[in-house]
Structure 1
């Protein structure tokens, strides 16, 4: 803990709710309300990627299946070109489908015009893709995303704070039939998820997620070119500064899960009032602004952790 005192000082200057560091599966820093379930915002997308692993490995979901083959449509109808987008295109946020999403996070407001980009041609962070992936998971597996999470991840990983009743679908059904699957998890449970991923999908010696999926989903699927710090896998951000093999979940306001091989897991959560959560899901202005922790601020603290543990 002595080596991490500068980290705690840095956190005290931020609106941090919970901060947890695991090194080779052992807790080395537990700061704040690490047992309280918290809104993950867009970090939910990386959690969904983990759930896809067993379904893809079993052939229940095919990465090459198109929206047309899967019967995925939306209000007003998808364009013929949009129906050719594959599951893989959605997992890489490159579908070319610019139908309005049920939830709005910002980028969609300035998105490309419908039909302007063919599937797979352009990375454009798009909540329609992520929300439709939840629908695809449920239709292909016959299980709800939240039930699958409880049975396939929370149970085998021994989550302590998981509350099924907190998990919820959010969004505007009058805009899109594909709502957002929002997770509310604690820092210590999210830390176990990260530790499992760094162990090649195994927990207590038993496979939870196929190692092949862990490797593929956290490898560069979208090289975003010169001048950016984050490439993209399957719903995971891949920070260049930390070297290949590291992967990161990012959620608005300050929700982060960073995994750095061989065994460093860093979780940062910033609690979000429920009225703000609901306003965001409806595309409305939040009732009051709240302080956030930016990716730059988080990465600065993460590098402090690395320097303390790997001097």
Structure 2
């Protein structure tokens, strides 16, 4: 897998002059600036979709816990429901995978690994899979015998076994013990095991002592994020597949970082080349006709691009949109062409929620003015 060239941001006056809008950008300090958008029929239509009457007894239908919209670095819309408040660290489920990818991006920027490196170099239990590269894991393309089934296939599910039964004490070791079904890099198969292997590899990159604080010192603290709780297994390995919690406002900071190509104010927290890799579709991905609307995998982020003859997954959303997505309707959406970052937390159990429908209504309500 080719590695994008690492680009670093210089703070020289010459390069600052080449970015004339930087001084006019809005960045959150201890909290976000707020410029609420006016009420409109489009905002009402968005709320009708996102916040229908909530039935907590059946848990049916669309059940939005939080909806936060950032435009040009300012909060323009925010609403909460159920037990969730602005100060509530919400379970992100598989958004955790994209958070790990961002964390790994800081290590990539520090020169601690390359995408073409063998994963076993940083996590020795993978020695039986010598062809497996870090880049394969980031594309969910390990080729390992994995079954990501929760409610519909719990008895044959490797993710259930990893998180809750025989693999729970050492999740990375459990994933590493699986058989190699196909050659790495030849097949996309969504896998929480791939992510937890990367979480264990991060320890090998940064060292045991630094690892326990690394997501905070390298990523969260530079962005002013203070609410994160990230669970570990019995080995102290972050459960990067599933178990990071944070407030909607803090998660939106990660979205703004990604919208602005890894830059946070005058600091390049993630190399722009890393963000470009995150937004590059896995070349061997084939859309499943049985799963319309399923986003295209990038580097542990999800993309809205047409690929290999398939149309873009979210028909009413710009092609440059990308997202971090999680179980039961969690979403961090970035739409650079509309200057939008959207956080949606939910508790959807019946698959009635639609990414395309929510984002279509968000755009109708809050799209950047045509004069910009």
Instruction: Bin the TM-score by the shorter chain.
Output: 0.7 to 0.9
Asked if 2 retains the 8 angstrom alpha-carbon contact of 1:247 and 1:259, the reply is: yes
Q: TM-score, normalised by structure 1?
A: 0.79
Cα pair distance change 1:304/1:296, threshold 3 Å: same
- C-alpha distance in 2 between matches for 1:89 and 1:250: 19
**What SS class does the counterpart of residue 64 from structure 2 fall into?**
coil
- C-alpha distance in 2 between matches for 1:2 and 1:293: 30
- C-alpha distance in 1 between matches for 2:259 and 2:350: 25
Q: Match for 1:93 among 118, 135, 140?
A: 140
Q: Match for 2:69 among 13, 18, 21?
A: 21
Note if 1:130 corresponds to 2:178. Answer: no
- C-alpha distance in 2 between matches for 1:88 and 1:107: 28
**What SS class does the counterpart of residue 124 from structure 2 fall into?**
coil
- Counterpart for residue 50 of structure 1: 102
- C-alpha distance in 1 between matches for 2:44 and 2:50: 10
Note if 1:73 corresponds to 2:125. Answer: yes
Query: Which is richer in helix?
Result: 1
Cα pair distance change 1:144/1:253, threshold 3 Å: farther
Q: Where do residues 37-186 of structure 1 align in structure 2 (5 Å cutoff)?
A: 37-73=89-125, 80=128, 82-98=129-145, 109=156, 114-142=179-207, 147-159=213-225, 161-163=226-228, 166-170=229-233, 180-181=239-240, 182-186=243-247
- C-alpha distance in 1 between matches for 2:332 and 2:258: 11
Asked if 1 retains the 8 angstrom alpha-carbon contact of 2:86 and 2:247, the reply is: yes
Q: How many residues align structurally?
A: 278
Q: Match for 2:50 among 4, 8, 11?
A: 11
> What's the RMSD between the two structures over aligned residues?
2.9
- Counterpart for residue 192 of structure 1: 253
Shift of 1:36: 1.1
Q: Match for 1:209 among 257, 264, 270?
A: 270
- C-alpha distance in 2 between matches for 1:126 and 1:65: 20
Listed as ranges, the gaps of 5+ residues in structure 1 are 272-290
- C-alpha distance in 2 between matches for 1:131 and 1:208: 23
Shift of 1:115: 2.8
**What SS class does the counterpart of residue 341 from structure 2 fall into?**
strand
Shift of 1:298: 3.5
Cα pair distance change 1:93/1:107, threshold 3 Å: farther
Shift of 1:293: 7.3
Q: TM-score, normalised by structure 2?
A: 0.67
Shift of 1:70: 3.2
- C-alpha distance in 2 between matches for 1:178 and 1:162: 19
- C-alpha distance in 1 between matches for 2:70 and 2:355: 16
Cα pair distance change 1:105/1:259, threshold 3 Å: farther
Asked if 2 retains the 8 angstrom alpha-carbon contact of 1:18 and 1:31, the reply is: yes
- C-alpha distance in 1 between matches for 2:95 and 2:140: 14
